[in-house]
C-alpha cells in the first residue's frame, strides 16, 4: 500500500482558511449595506445580488468551518479523516446557488410583466461598490488552492457575484439613460443564469465524489489495461478507483501474477506505474499467484489470453 497522505496538506489548508476568512469578512460587511440600498431603491437586481451575497456569506462560513474540520486527523471509525466535510460543504453551496437562482428567476419574471420604478442612480452606485469589494474577495480566493472543491465552490460564489455586479451596473445605467425599468429584472435573470451554471458544476463534481465515481480524467478500464500490460500480470479484477476528497484519489485492486513471480516486487513496480502514469499514490494492491498461466485475463468487459 502506498503513501496515505494526499496533496492538499496542512500548509495549503491554513492558507485556504485565511483566504476564506478574509473573503467572508468583505462579503458580509458589504451585503448588509446592499440590502439597505436595494430596499430604498426598490431594485430587484440589487436585492438579487444581496440574496446571492447572503448565500455567499453562508457558503464562505460553511467552507471555512469545513476546511477547519478537514484538518482533524484520522481517528477511531474515521479512518480516512474528515476531508470529505469539504465535499459536503461544496454540495451545500451548490444547493444554495440553485435555490436562490430559481427564486430570482421567479421574481424577475413577475417584474418583467409589471415592472416597478427603479432608482437607477442608487443601483449604479451600489453595483460599482460591489465590483470593488468582489474584486478584492475574488483576488484573495484566487490565491488559495484551486485543487480543493470546497475552495472552488466559495470562489464560484464570489466570482459569480463579481459578474453579477457588472451586469447590475450596466442595467442601472441603462435605466438612467432610457427610463426602461425592465433592464433591472433582465439583469436579475443574468445573475440567476450565472448561479444556476455554477450550481450545476458544483453539484456534478461533488456528487461524483460522494457517489465514489472515478476521478475526472482517470478511466478505470485504462488503468486496468495498464496493469495487465505488465509481463508478469495474468489477471486484474475487483478494481476500484475513487476520490476520498479533493486531491485524494485512491485505488484498490486484486492482481494475479505468474507462478514464481516475486509478488512484492511486482506490487512495487505496479505502484510506481500507477503513480507516474495516473497520479494514483494511495493504492491498495493485493497481489497473488495464479494457479496456471493459461487462465483468462479479465479486465471488466475486456478479456484476453
Mean pLDDT, residues 275-281 taken together:
93
Give the per-residue pLDDT at 257. 93
Please check the confidence at residue 127 and state whether its pLDDT lies above 60: yes
Interior CA angle at 74 toward 72 and 77, to 5°? Answer: 125
Between residues 83 and 228, the one the model is more confident about: 228
193-208 burial, b at 16+ Cβ within 10 Å, e below that, comes to bbbbebbebbbebbeb
CB atoms within 10 A of CB 88: 17
- Contact 240/253 with Cβ under 8 angstroms? yes
Beta bridge partners of 287: 255
- Contact 270/280 with Cβ under 8 angstroms? no
Please check the confidence at residue 296 and state whether its pLDDT lies above 60: no
Least confident stretch, 10-19, 266-275, 291-300: 291-300
* Chain segment 161-195, per-residue pLDDT in tens: 788 888 888 888 888 888 888 888 888 898 888 88
Interior CA angle at 25 toward 7 and 202, to 5°? Answer: 45
- The pTM score is 0.72
Closest by CA to 146, choosing from 9, 16, 14, is: 16
Structural domains of the chain, with CATH = 10-210 (1.20.1510.10), 220-304 (3.30.300.30)
- Contact 70/245 with Cβ under 8 angstroms? yes
- The DSSP letter of residue 234 is E
Least confident stretch, 2-6, 49-53, 83-87: 2-6
CA 50 to chain centre: 23
Amino acid at each position: 500500500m502506498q503513501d496515505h497522505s494526499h496533496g492538499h496538506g496542512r500548509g495549503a489548508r491554513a492558507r485556504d482558511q485565511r483566504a476564506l476568512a478574509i473573503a467572508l469578512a468583505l462579503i458580509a460587511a458589504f451585503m448588509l449595506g446592499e440590502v439597505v440600498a436595494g430596499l430604498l431603491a426598490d431594485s430587484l437586481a440589487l436585492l438579487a445580488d444581496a440574496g446571492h451575497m447572503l448565500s455567499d456569506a453562508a457558503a464562505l462560513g460553511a467552507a471555512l468551518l469545513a476546511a477547519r474540520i478537514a484538518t482533524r486527523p484520522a481517528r477511531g471509525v474515521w479512518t480516512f479523516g474528515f476531508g470529505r466535510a469539504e465535499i459536503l460543504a461544496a454540495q451545500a453551496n451548490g444547493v444554495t446557488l440553485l435555490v436562490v437562482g430559481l427564486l430570482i428567476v421567479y421574481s424577475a419574471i413577475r417584474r418583467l410583466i409589471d415592472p416597478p420604478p427603479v432608482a437607477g442612480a442608487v443601483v449604479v452606485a451600489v453595483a460599482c461598490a460591489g465590483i470593488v469589494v468582489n474584486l478584492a474577495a475574488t483576488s484573495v480566493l484566487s490565491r488559495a488552492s484551486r485543487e480543493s472543491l470546497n475552495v472552488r465552490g466559495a470562489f464560484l460564489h464570489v466570482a459569480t457575484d463579481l459578474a453579477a455586479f457588472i451586469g447590475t451596473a450596466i442595467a442601472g445605467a441603462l435605466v438612467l439613460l432610457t427610463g426602461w425599468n425592465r433592464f433591472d429584472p433582465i439583469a436579475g435573470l443574468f445573475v440567476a443564469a450565472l448561479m444556476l451554471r455554477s450550481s450545476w458544476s458544483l453539484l456534478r463534481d461533488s456528487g461524483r465524489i460522494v457517489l465514489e465515481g472515478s476521478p475526472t480524467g482517470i478511466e478505470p478500464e485504462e488503468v486496468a489495461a495498464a496493469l495487465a500490460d505488465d509481463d508478469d500480470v495474468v489477471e486484474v479484477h475487483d478494481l476500484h478507483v475513487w476520490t476520498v476528497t479533493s486531491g485524494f484519489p485512491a485505488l484498490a485492486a486484486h492482481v494475479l501474477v505468474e507462478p514464481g513471480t516475486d509478488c512484492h516486487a511486482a506490487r512495487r513496480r505496479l505502484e510506481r506505474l500507477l503513480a507516474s502514469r495516473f497520479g494514483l499514490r494511495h493504492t491498495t494492491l493485493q497481489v497473488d499467484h495464479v494457479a496456471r498461466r493459461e487462465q483468462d485475463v479479465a479486465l471488466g468487459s475486456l478479456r484476453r489470453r
